[in-house]
Amino acid sequence: MSFILFDVCLGLGLRVVGTKIYLRKTRTISRIRSSFEEADVTVEMIYSEILKRDNDICLEDFCKLYILLGLSEFLLPTRMGLVHHGLFTIVDDLEKLGTYN
């Protein structure tokens, strides 16, 4: 018996409907992405940005960085600790966050 992605999602209790997340996007223009000068952003860079801008950051940007950290660290990690470029698009519009599967 072969398994398809739908079977795995149902077995793990994940949503099977919603907007697909495109992780392999090329570099995107993003307000949060512009906080980082390097070509590739790592989880450690996000964490240090949160700590560095502790009291000098608006609440919305803090939430975006924190959600980006959670997505990159726990839900969609990479072996090298790099952040997928598609995640910046997701956190730019927090109102659409619930539409993704």
Determine the Cα–Cα distance for residues 81 and 73; give it in Å rounded to an integer: 8
Please choose, from the candidates 32, 94, 28, 90, the residue with its C-alpha nearest in 3D space to the C-alpha of residue 65. Answer: 32
Determine the Cα–Cα distance for residues 26 and 22; give it in Å rounded to an integer: 10
**Amino acid letter for position 56:** D
Instruction: Please tell me the pTM assigned to this model.
Output: 0.75
Tokens of 64: 């975006």
Q: Give tens-digit pLDDT for 3-17.
A: 887 788 788 777 677
The CA angle 50-70-99, to the nearest 5 degrees, is 120
Mean pLDDT, range 66-95, rounded to an integer: 88
Domain boundaries, the chain: 18-99
Determine the Cα–Cα distance for residues 99 and 101; give it in Å rounded to an integer: 7
